[in-house]
Amino acid sequence: MSDDIINATISIEDKHFFKHQGFDFLRIIKAMYTNIINGAKVQGASTITQQYAKNLFLDFGKTWKRKFEEAWLTIRLETQYSKEEILEGYLNTINYGGIFGIENASKYYFDKSASDLNLAEAAILAGIPKSPSNYSPLSNFEEAKKRQALILSSMVRNGFISEKDKNEAIETELILVGSNKENKSSMIMYYQDAVIHELKKLETIPKTFLEIGGLKIFTNMDPNAMKSIEDSINKNLEGNKEIQVAAIAMDPNTGAVTALTGGRDYSVSQFNRAIKSKRQVGSTMKPLLYYAALENSFTPSTTFRSEKTIFTFSEDKTYSPQNYGDEYPNKPISMATAIAYSDNIYAVKTHLFLGEETLVETAKRLGITSPIEAVPSLALGSYELNIMEMTKAYSTFANEGYNITPHLIQRVEDLEGNVLYEFKEEKELVLNKSLVYVLNELLTTTYSRDLIDYNYPTCYNISYKMTKKYAVKTGTTDTDHLIFGYNKDLIIGIWTGYDDNKPTIPSDGLAIKNAWVDSMESYLKDKEDNWYQLPSNVVGVLVDPISGKLATNNTKNKKIMYYIKGTEPTNKEASLDDSIPTVKIEE
């Protein structure tokens, strides 16, 4: 690597690096004095060796025990390795805005080897590690230039360059690339970040890289799946640079996460929304509710009247959910119609009829671990959940009832090939396969032309792109749009919204619907349509899907719906509305 990157790093991070034995005690005293005077931590005193020691740990704990471990590791580094080896290790592990190691960073930002960096480029890169989100030249060029000037000034003071060199470097034009020719993905680092997050939780992995020399990590990432998702997101969200995303693709049969992104561009924002963010999930909670309803004797033909409604409870409490666009059929509708249109009144009536604890229990059975409470609005996804746990829940429908463990890591070895960890698949049957089949068929109504009536199914506007059969559900809140969809081979979940909870607009929802279908179709383009086999105790019946009644010669819309044998519609079903005494109609 170039002398400039070495000198720039030493000058700004640890000017006494070649003189101390791992700790710069004078600097520590000065930092303590400065921080006491200011009443806050405004100056650090970690040496390059100390920072390298911290980087050698698989997590970044801040306990006193960890501090002592880092200090002991610093001493070991200084006694066992030369200064040049420590500096090389540090530069090869440091975070340059989601790009780890100076060689990778040099190729990413400037499309050249670290040995070919000029002074201006070296000073820019040396400034990033202090705060990658603030000093990346791609996301904050003005602040990066200020940091560059600060580093160049420190190099002058420390005798590495002249004042003339400094001024010329400041004036040198920077030609930023912002990609790697070997891998132009701006999202793949989110997958790596999630791998490290998972690695930290594995008890069989030693605490530090120093103990094992290094690791070989075998992941489930499928480059084709990553490319399908990234290309689809970039294409469909191109017109809105500010909005963020999280997306997960998974094999529902094994839990292998084949693709993941936690944002638009890791070099701009390293916050991994796929594993760390929780958002309201909106109507994507409804399939969990409707599975519970099917377990409790509901069928696709079970009806509730959908109209503007106030739900009243004890102590004069009320709840007034609205349908999207404030549109209501003002008549009884079937469960199939409620799913197709994502009707909120039907969902809340179902939730109250079953008892609010029923949905909580079902969600936990499906792998939801975030705290949720038995309240009326839970049916409409009012609680904040993580997209990974929602993908896990939907995978239970996609694999016909089995609870699986989402995982990115398949195996971990040391450098000698010894296996330190290997994922062991454990599947538990938690749902009724026949009822899951009925639900999966119901989730195809979201794009079925047979459900066009007083409204359009929520995903009808992307149905023309579908060459295969999928189960799909969308969800919308004031600040979020989500979609989960699957067949037997693949499940993809996508969220979009703003980090500051700024309201979204309908076109944002359309964008991720298109991103979802484009991802599915791209990845599965060479695969056969793989839908579920009809269970022996399930029958198809031709019905009017809107009313749920048996179809006649005069029926406008007809569709084959699926029922457990013995529960087929008879046109004599009693209304369930009278079973919910907490409802009154708005005048």
Q: Catalytic site residues?
A: 13, 283
CA distance 43 to 45: 7
Q: Are 454 and 337 in contact (CB under 8 A)?
A: no
CA distance 105 to 140: 16
DSSP 427-457: -EE-S-HHHHHHHHHHTTGGG-GGG-SSS--
With 0-12 / 13-18 / 19 or more C-beta atoms within 10 angstroms meaning exposed / middle / buried, residue 204 is exposed
Closest CA to 586 of 306, 352, 382, 378: 306
Closest CA to 59 of 203, 260, 263, 257: 203
As a dihedral over the C-alpha atoms of residue 40, residue 42, residue 45, residue 51, rounded to 10 degrees, the angle is 100
The pair of three-digit structure tokens given for residue 231, joined into one six-digit string: 């290309």
Q: Are 433 and 226 in contact (CB under 8 A)?
A: no
The angle at the Cα of 225, spanning 222 to 229, to the nearest 5 degrees, equals 145
> Residue 313 gets which letter from DSSP?
-
CA distance 119 to 167: 11
The pair of three-digit structure tokens given for residue 382, joined into one six-digit string: 């009012």
Count of CB atoms within 10 A of residue 501's CB? 13
> Residue 426 gets which letter from DSSP?
-
Helices and strands per DSSP (H, E), number in the chain: 21, 19
Q: Kindly tell me the sign of the dihedral angle through the C-alpha atoms of 42, 47, 52, 53.
A: negative
Antiparallel, parallel or unpaired: β 480-486 and 491-497:
antiparallel
Closest CA to 516 of 583, 450, 587, 458: 458
Q: Are 126 and 15 in contact (CB under 8 A)?
A: no
Q: Are 510 and 237 in contact (CB under 8 A)?
A: no
Q: Are 74 and 50 in contact (CB under 8 A)?
A: yes
Q: Are 301 and 405 in contact (CB under 8 A)?
A: no
